[in-house]
Structure formats: structure tokens, C-alpha cells
Structure 1
């Protein structure tokens, strides 16, 4: 019985620590994206909007390719092979 309780506690604490680390990593990533957007906007708003538009198009193309059934006998080549990875 003590072994089961000990295993449960170790697993619970491990999951809590992993969740905290992942949350901190997500916050750091979000903060760095906000900083990049701020610096880019202060450098050139037009280039920032153009880059955001291109990134949106690439993500939309990745989503479209991911959820679309490929044609028979045709593999994905070029851009169609790369953009789904950005979407995932």
C-alpha cells in the first residue's frame, strides 16, 4: 500500500513540475514574440504587416493542405510538403 501511495505522489509531483516548466516556456515564447513584434513595428510598420500577412498565408496554406485529401498517386512536393509542418 505504501508503495502505491509513494508512486502516486511521485507521479503527481512530476506532472506538476512538468506543467510548471511548460507554462514558463510558453510564457517566455509569448513574451519573445511580443518583443519581436514590437521591435519590428518600431523599425517598419509596413514590413511588419507584410510579414504577418505572409505568415498568415503560409499557415492557412498549411491548414488547407493538412485537411485536404491528396490526389490519387500524387505526393506532396515543394511548398505543399513544407507548410503543413508550420501549421502543426
Structure 2
């Protein structure tokens, strides 16, 4: 007997939604996010890799507001939404 397994997905630490690597959240989904999100989630929303977004942040070229807490970066969701509404 052959059993088919569902595709491997990542469970977000920021909520119980399941995100695979190819999932780009809709603007409606993003509007339901917390006030800040991690870099990986923000990168997924704009369709770039998290390493590329980290580089943009380090160069001061991120297209939305980012705050730093110690060594952690958080993206302001309202700023991310404003950016996505423009593009």
C-alpha cells in the first residue's frame, strides 16, 4: 500500500498559519499580522529571500521601517503594507 504525504511546510513561529516557501501572503493576510513581524515573514511578503532583506537592512536600503531590538530586527507591519500598496 502506498501512502502519499503532504508537501513539507514550515509552521510559522508568529502564528499558527502554515507557510510553504512558495506562499506569498495576500495583502488581506498581511493586514491581520501583528504590529511587527520578523524579517523572514516580511521577505516572504515581498517575494525576496530573507538574506537579501537582511542585506538591504544593513545597508539602510530597506523599503519599509525596521526596528532593532538588540540583535533582532523587526519590520513594522503598517510600513510593509504601505510599501506593498504602492508597488
Q: Shorter chain as normaliser: what TM range? A: under 0.3
If you compute each CA radius of gyration, which structure gives the higher value, 1 or 2? Answer: 1
Q: Structure 1 length normalisation: TM-score?
A: 0.24
> RCO greater where, 1 or 2, for CA within 8 Å and sep 6 or more?
2
Which protein is richer in helix relative to its size? 1
TM-score (normalised: structure 2): 0.24
